[in-house]
Amino acid sequence: MRVLIIGNKNYSSWSMRPWVLMRHFAIAFTERALRLGSAEFHDALAGLTPTQTVPVLLDGDLVVPDSLAIVEYLAEAFAQHAIWPADSAARARARVLCATMHSGFTALRSSMPMNIEARLPGLGWNLAVQRDLDRICALWRGALDASGGPFLYGAFGAADAFYAPVCARLRTYAPALPEFAADYVERVLAVPAVVQWCDCACAEHDYVAEGEPYRARAS
């Protein structure tokens, strides 16, 4: 039985990536959701990964505790799906985009944490965030121009799933974007698997203090 362990859908950008990808490609799995920061969260993950982070994919006896590693595993296990581009050069570039998102953009992550149900226009912006946004837009522009769209490498795939949490952030905080980037955000947010994740996030009504810096500040 294949199980994907995730955190709160409203906040867990890392969990969103493989969940959306698996739903989009109809890869069967059972979801196990853990409340971020709870005792259950740490107890459930303690025996699976020393980092005690989500997501974690369980596939039989295999434990894969990293979003990028999960995507790579799925691409090999389900080679019939176009998780990565078929062209080797495009595939390499798509991996660069995912790795860049996986390890970078710390200003955006810290100042605009994912909070899908909230609408916080104008909050979180600073010059460091703008530098991250400029770089993201440059990456998107290069990929979309090369592929012709509508998604980064033509059809929706791993790179788009990796940037889906960014698109959710951009809807929440509403910074100014170039028109092409705003259009891409809307296309990603309209993908059925992304819509499903966001609808579930909005239905949680489970507020975690660490994910709500602006709510905490207001109170």
92-108: pLDDT as tens digits = 999 999 999 999 999 99
> What is the residue type of 78?
F
Condensed to tens digits (0 to 9), the pLDDT of residues 65-82 reads: 999 999 999 999 999 999
- Range 9-34 average pLDDT: 98
pLDDT value of position 216: 54
Q: Please determine, for residue 219, whether its predicted confidence score (pLDDT) is greater than 60.
A: no
Q: What's the token pair of residue 128?
A: 């460091």
CA distance 15 to 5: 8
pLDDT value of position 62: 96
List strand residue ranges (DSSP E) for the chain, in order.
2-6, 30-33, 56-59, 62-64
The CATH number assigned to the domain with range 2-81 reads: 3.40.30.10
The CATH number assigned to the domain with range 88-198 reads: 1.20.1050.10
Q: How many CA atoms does the CB half-sphere of 106 hold within 13 Å?
A: 1
pLDDT value of position 199: 98
Q: Please determine, for residue 202, whether its predicted confidence score (pLDDT) is greater than 90.
A: yes
CATH 3.40.30.10 range(s) for the chain read 2-81
Judge whether 26 and 173 are in contact, CB under 8 Å.
no
CATH 1.20.1050.10 range(s) for the chain read 88-198
Which of 90, 104, 61 is closest to 157 using CA atoms? 90
- pLDDT band at residue 1, thresholds of 50, 70 and 90? confident
CA distance 88 to 213: 42
Q: Please determine, for residue 218, whether its predicted confidence score (pLDDT) is greater than 50.
A: no
Q: In this structure, what are the phi and psi dihedrals at residue 33, rounded to the nearest 5 degrees?
A: -100, 130
- pLDDT band at residue 179, thresholds of 50, 70 and 90? very high
Q: How far apart are the first and last CA of the chain?
A: 44
The strand pair at 2-6 and 30-33 is best described as parallel
- Range 184-203 average pLDDT: 98
DSSP 8-state assignment for residue 80: T
Please return the burial class of 79, using the count of CB atoms within 10 Å of its CB with bins 0-12, 13-18 and 19+. Answer: exposed
CA distance 84 to 153: 9
